[in-house]
Structure 1
């Protein structure tokens, strides 16, 4: 899956947690993207069965979409924590770097980082 689509799924998950419901305009505001760009991405995610859109325009993650979104969000959170705790970088830098790396890191390396955090650092 493309990084941009993973970012959309992660954003939908976060917005659902914050607001309870999500519309395309909410995603556009959160990501600072144009409405047409978000509309195109939402349609792709819908066609790929990652999201459903109800008759009122509310976006819901499918089981497939929720699983993918939670996986990406877990990577984001744990990588951010890893950078904060081990590299002692500024939170903004840790967030930005985690956002880039979460999409390309191998499962093996991510699991190693996760195990390191569990074994060595209370997070």
Structure 2
């Protein structure tokens, strides 16, 4: 099974690039995309119009492109595969960091969802790539990684995928609310969060998102809790808007 097998590698690269360049899903300019992908601006504009007509982005001349929910989901999936592959190439195969990005780019498009899941298990559910960029959550219908491991022999066709797009706590906007939907990590991570009152299904509101590596402050069950980015990246929310 491969949830993106119908898409061309070129489309996936564009969506992944927009995802990587965007901040809270704000528009990404044609110039930025052109510079990042090393493609002529006119060609980028032509592709953005195509992506807009196919429902992957909303494109406005002079403003740029923003991912739709459909495009955002695809971009997160391919970004997840890319960053998992970077971890594998660096941690398991010992390939030098300056070479792993290009190699992962070549491999991400052909990595099946079965292989992605097995790779995640092999790497012990990593939260970030070697460059310390967060790895998006998987799309499978699990509430914790422990559930996924317990059902490691289950066919992912039967497991199915979530209907909603999830955001990690570090991706949420201030004053945005939602419910905890997925927690990444082993039982120790889950236990640590439970001790803070952060459990699956609990309503949560983002209070303050400090810049860079600062803490995340949320309100949950009537109390305010401060979380380090290392753990906030592993709490995923089904947002309300």
TM-score normalised by length of structure 1: 0.89
Which residue matches 1:94?
100
Q: How does 1:63-102 map to 2 (within 5 A)?
A: 63-102=69-108
Which residue matches 1:32?
38
Bigger shift: 99-108 or 20-29?
A: 20-29
CA distance in 1, matches of 2:40, 2:115: 35
1:21 to partner: Cα distance: 3.4
CA distance in 1, matches of 2:39, 2:124: 36
Gap change, CA 1:110 and 1:21, over 3 Å in 2 = same
Q: Which has the higher strand share?
A: 2
Q: CA RMSD in A?
A: 2.1
Deviations 1:42-97 (A, max 9, x none): 11111110000246533110000000000011111110011100000011221111
Question: Gaps (5+ residues) in structure 1?
Answer: none
Q: Which has the higher helix share?
A: 1
Off by >4 Å, runs of 4+ in structure 1 = none
Q: Provide the secondary structure at the position in 2 that maps to 1:53.
A: strand
Q: Name the structure, 1 or 2, with higher relative contact order (CA <8 Å, separation 6+).
A: 1
1:6 to partner: Cα distance: 0.5
Q: How many pairs does the alignment contain?
A: 122
Work out which of the two has the higher radius of gyration on C-alpha atoms and give 1 or 2.
Answer: 2
Gap change, CA 1:31 and 1:122, over 3 Å in 2 = closer
Gap change, CA 1:18 and 1:81, over 3 Å in 2 = farther
CA distance in 2, matches of 1:47, 1:77: 29
Question: Gaps (5+ residues) in structure 2?
Answer: 1-6, 129-241
Judge conservation of contact 1:15–1:21 (CA < 8 Å) in 2.
no
1:19 to partner: Cα distance: 9.5
